Chains A and B, each alone.
Chain A
């Protein structure tokens, strides 16, 4: 579903933010992407969603190159950023309508999905309020809902559990599992290693812009916990 091949991104006169990164996320995978601060996780994610140009390599989503066919790639991808910033001057309903219109979602299907996910996240009663009145968690739930209403094949999430209450986190994990069972792929970065260890079947560890390890969870971390593995990886470099 997502194939990153030799991704390299440098900023002018600086060391590469990401160098030679390659990984493969298959349909049905919940793929965790972890690394220390400044390792290159957000740069990688921004390149995947098409917000960042890169010098070398390519990214394929559902078999289509992000360079050659960016519109198709973006139409089957849903991106949830670490800091949700939906337009505060819209109501929740207007924001969801905007996303539905941009992605060309059928109105009936859109309505069903909006009702389903807003009820699960318990924000159906605030959809007529301005987003400026929402808390951080409510904004996050709204953005997650907007990501799901166009039935994406690939979910790209940048630290999605930040600001979510325990019930909403549980709901999101459940939705991620359901989506994978339907044949989607989930690729997300997180610092919450506990969640990553329980949720993900595959993992990639990035360190200083380079891929340190990737593959099935049990193959990467072995018999130790993900937290212990991660701390070992970080300490090796210091």
Chain B
């Protein structure tokens, strides 16, 4: 029958579906919206998608190779116990920064807020679906930072049975604590930024202050006086990580056989998630109302999608347009658009930092041409031939990291 074939074509299912999973499926589909659009688009869109995918694969490959190489270097130098906590900390920092800058909107003020709120869904279902989506997004950092390190570590170290029992739940729990801290920070930053007229700019500035403040705070925790003795670096790094990100210290101990620290890490992760769900359940509406209202002289008012300008602001806008040239008007518009989105600013800072780090790394690697000289700087007696040049470069990197941490 026509209706049956139409039902089959339309994918009409005959069973009750879990509403949380339906929402999560929609949100995840939203992340890959661009891919879907390209696949359904013209030939040139598909070519662009293939080119972009290859570029992303190459980038991920380089990143995974770098992380794997770092891990190998750490293990070879004798810092095997430190490498997984260090990578967990690195991943946590990335997740934290991502949540701070993205979490405010995706957790508290998603674009489909009104629509989802009008559906027959409980607050818990809505909140949990957002958290699961955020978790999946953060898991990306676990895949590119922690998984390569785990793979190389497991291959080189041949860890005990306890490692294999605990590693899967450890990987699954990694995003929990950074998501909690990041969400808390996002709440505070949003609350402070919403008191200003230019909320997005406020979010960017306060967010950057938070991130740099956290980095400065962690650098205050102890100094490393002797950078020439590699053997002491391991102890220093271990002590440093304990202050910078204590849960990583717990999971590091757990993965080497101490079950109690791992259980503590598990408990902290679960408690963080429970608190986050409880807080969001109670306050997500208030947070949305606060984020989407603006401060005016008459007090706060909601921003409607079709706002009518008052007469006075229309006069001011008209005066501004008369004063600037078309080029300047366009420039100002782009300038304001850039600062209206924290992601743009964050990406710029991230690219600039990468460029600086890569330059520093290339300078260091150039010393690899003179292995003996670099080896003597690091007090390495066995760097006698060029086959060790890669290893020495990584020693230089580690030395550089340690010196910078101190």
Contact = CB atoms under 8 A, between A and B. Distances in A.
A181 interface: no
A206 to B, nearest CB: 15
Contact of B36 (A50, A89, A97, A111): A89
A130 B13 CA distance: 20
A128 to B, nearest CB: 8
Contacts of A15: 298-299
B297 to A, nearest CB: 10
B169 interface: no
A72 B122 CA distance: 10
A132 interface: yes
B112 interface: yes
B13 A83 contact: no
Contact of B301 (A17, A52, A111, A127): A17
Interface string A108-126: 1011101100000000000
Interface stretch (A24-32, A35-43, A171-179, A216-224): A35-43
B111 to A, nearest CB: 7
A90 B112 CA distance: 14
Contact of B286 (A42, A53, A72, A74): A53
Given A52-B289, A101-B13, A43 B302 contact: yes
B22 interface: yes
Contacts of A72: 120
B300 A37 contact: no
A149 to B, nearest CB: 11
Nearest to B117: A51
B323 interface: no
B299 A107 contact: no
Nearest to B111: A85
Given A52-B285, A93-B10, A93-B11, A112 B3 contact: yes
A103 B12 contact: no
Contact of A94 (B11, B299, B306): B11
Contact of A46 (B6, B32, B114): B114
Interface of B is mostly: mixed
A130 B37 contact: yes
B301 A104 contact: no
Chain B interface size, under 10 / 10 to 19 / 20 to 34 / 35 or more: 35 or more
A71 B29 CA distance: 25
Interface stretch (A6-14, A192-200, A228-236): A6-14
Given A53-B286, A83-B306, A102 B19 contact: yes
A14 B7 contact: no
Q: Which of B9, B12, B22 has the most CB of A within 10 A?
A: B12
B10 A89 contact: no
Chain A interface size, under 10 / 10 to 19 / 20 to 34 / 35 or more: 35 or more
A79 interface: yes
A173 B308 CA distance: 28
B300 A14 contact: yes
B299 A12 contact: yes
Contacts of B168: none
Given A74-B118, A104-B16, A53 B285 contact: yes
A81 interface: yes
B293 interface: yes
Contacts of A81: 114-115
B327 interface: no
B172 interface: no
B14 A107 contact: yes
B26 interface: yes
A87 B112 contact: yes
B302 A11 contact: yes
A127 B10 contact: yes
A17 B14 CA distance: 44
B321 interface: no
B270 to A, nearest CB: 27
B25 to A, nearest CB: 9
A13 B300 contact: yes
A77 interface: yes
Interface string B187-230: 00000000000000000000000000000000000000000000
26 contacts: A13-B300, A14-B298, A17-B301, A51-B113, A52-B285, A71-B121, A74-B119, A82-B305, A88-B33, A93-B9, A93-B10, A94-B11, A97-B11, A97-B12, A98-B26, A101-B13, A102-B19, A102-B120, A103-B119, A103-B120, A107-B7, A107-B14, A110-B12, A127-B10, A130-B37, A132-B37
Given A15-B299, A81-B114, A103-B120, 9 more contacts: A71-B122, A82-B305, A85-B112, A89-B36, A89-B37, A93-B10, A97-B11, A111-B6, A112-B3
Closest A-B pairs by Cβ, 6 of them: A14-B299, A89-B33, A51-B117, A75-B120, A79-B118, A49-B118
